Structure 1
Amino acid sequence: MRTRLGKAILFSAAVFGVSAFVATNTPVHAASVKVTSNRALSNNVNSRNYLANGSNALYNKAGVLEGARVVAGKSTLAGLRTKGDAGQSYFRGYRVARLSNGSYYMKVVSFDKSYRGWIYVGKSNAAANTQSVSGGLTYTETFKRSSVDSDIASATYNFKSTPLTYTQPDWTQYKVGRNTKSTSASTTDSLKVTAVGTKTNGRDNNATYYYVEDANTPAANGWIKAADVVKAGQSVVNANQVKVNYVDGDGNIVSSQTFTNPNYQTQSAANYLGTSISGTVVNSIPSGYSAPADASANNAAIAAAQYGGEVNFTVTKNQANLFSVSPKYSVTVNTKSYSSLPGDPVGQDAVVTGNDGVTEKMSAKLAKLAAATTTNATSQTQVFRTADIQKALSDAGLDKFYILEYTGFDTNQPVSTASATGQPNLSGLLGGTNSLGGSSDLTSLLGSAGSDVLGGSGLSWYFIRSWWSFR
């Protein structure tokens, strides 16, 4: 009896012993990891801004400590990394703890205070270099400054609406925000831009900010979104609008247009405007102009567009030739009236390529000729020889002409002519689209009488290339 009891007791002890081991294995391991140091960070705040990268979760305490629970999982934190907010999802680090197993954890809080807790940052002391962390955090710059362009620095601005500036651009630093004294300023105050920068990581669509100094209310000095100021004297561009300035190669404004997007809250300004090839901006290019072949600058300008702001879109003036200039001639042949005949490159100041290979406006070539025939004279009695005149014409690119001549079918006599120093493009007359972007079909150019012309009566045309000759 005693023997059986002894065996039973021994068996029970063995069973309970195993049960106790299985139940307490993990807690005993967690309990063996201790916090060996926990210190507040005093490094520059700019070096303690982070993106959560989703590699590790955020805990209420170091994740391997007993009683640790998840505050935000990996997938949640990975989503915050690419979140298109204004910067609320950035994290600020403010404490670092070292554990007895050699791991380091950093205590962080999101800029909007929605998340707070501890996250693994590697085996190196993050306090020694807060920008060099691993684990679940990636150091980031939330705002990058750039040089102030001269045209911005020299301009005077006004607040677009109720004045409000920031000590630092909003949501680029933790607990640093509005300059409450700026509300005492007036929308008519004169502002000068002394610094420029942009948000990063896609926050607020990488919005551009100006640091403005208010001559009338110095207490209002601070950072403000570029879209929230307007150049003095210019019309206000509203929050659902983008103003596009079509400028030439020298930066001169050809025309401006303000576009309004009813879907501005869900569609970015860049997406709304399109590209340099298609979309809202290209479809509204001023008549007589087109987008340049090199689209890089315009695409960059569109990509940086913000609602309430302006965009400069470079355009080039279309090069007119003999057949693509605005029609001018009106004639009557065999009792038939013909109007809108193409031609007159001089009157239209067409851009042509001379025999010298130089492409420029007709007026520029004529100016060269005028300069050559006046400045070369040493006295009022000087006689210009044929060779002198020929050289002047050649230097100006005017030594060869291409002539378009309209003649009557019946008489074969010239009716009207137009000339240019650049060889015209035949396709510009007979069909397709000319360099000015309009139809150049002969029928449309000749108006209502065009069908009669093409039907076998009226005008014919041909080219004559002639040289100046002197005897």
Structure 2
Amino acid sequence: MILSFKKSLYLGLAAIAVVAAVELTTTDASAKSYARITSNQVMQTAPQNRNVTTNGTNALYTKAGTLRGARMIASKYTLQRYGSSKLSSQYFRAYRVATTNRGAVYYKVVSFNGVYRGWIYGGRVNGTFAGGLNPANTMANANLPLQKTGYTLTNPQKYTLWVDPKWSRYKAKQVDMSSYSANDTFTITDAAVKTREQYLYYKVIDDKNSAIVGWVYSGGVAAPNSQQATKDNSVKINYVNPAGQSVGAYTWIIQKTDLKAGANMTDGAKLGDILQNSTQLSDVATKNVPTGYKISATQSPTNQPANVTVGSEDYLVYVDPIKANFLSPVAYYLTNTGQQISPSQLVGNTYPILTDAQMTIFSSQTQGIVPAKVFDNALFADPNKLASLTGVSVKNADGTMTTPIYYFNKQATIAANTTARYGDTLKLYYTLPQR
């Protein structure tokens, strides 16, 4: 009986030891299944280069999703809706970056509207947005209007000025308008459209107070010529090329303040007889030359400004096309590997086809440094042009097919072309999101 009891005791203790060992091993294995952070830093790149969209391939968490205790804040579905949204308020700004011991990169992001803030998987290259994020161009360049001076604000309370257009960046700020006067006029210096809503904005500067400068919705400004043009108050300026073909026109409405004392502005009146400044027409014509042209150096206008009459007579101004002496070809590279993307990797075995007019954004009359704003052009927000590249479908191991989509990476492109000059090959970088 004693031997039997001892044998049972030994067997019981052995069983307990095995169970304890199994539990210890299981606990250790479970702990090792979680990743740990090896680096966590505030991002130092320019804020406009950290605007991103979510694509719905990864969810948003309170911490890196593979860390112990990470809780979901926004699902993949929610982030897919934000990514395809037509509202600029649903962009995100990245502001911290962390790397795990497994080489995964996570970004801390906040939505422009402040609704969501958390961590999301961003690929495996620090500083490159992949995984659940795509780089975003919230604004794209637009053409300036022919008339650039003399604008007034229509409703400063409703359409005020912004340091950056509202919702074009996280926490965009309004311009201090405390010194603004209702009689102030503005000059337009830049134009851009919101990539999502396609709202047109102008950058303006107060002609009387240069401290008041910012962006305003195009509907919030009125041109000095906004009154109706008639044969009794206007002159039509017709711009023609060397072959005599019209390439643009501008209707100048003469203001009463431009007239000599006692002068009557009627159809047929000579400008030299009624204007205080008989050369004013030449100044207006020079300021409103169509984009891509310059006043001809060899062919003069068909009439002297002083002899031009109010009304039906056109003032013909000859212009020459501006020829670019330095055109930069473009090449396409994969951010993930640094390798050049060949045409054979893309649908149709070809790169995006750009017209000569579209290629002018990569050209200049001088061989200066290519400015970073070139990569803000609307072509880089157009999915049918340079916003993305569609790859040739590949067969997966399970027999399914995947079509890779390469997304334009503005941040990597700017970094690769900081010293590029017009005439050099520009490297356009695209990111293939990690699945």
- The TM-score range, normalised by the shorter chain, is 0.3 to 0.5
TM-score, with normalisation over the residues of structure 1?
A: 0.44
More RCO (CA 8 Å, sep 6+): 2
TM-score, with normalisation over the residues of structure 2?
A: 0.48
Structure showing greater Rg: 1
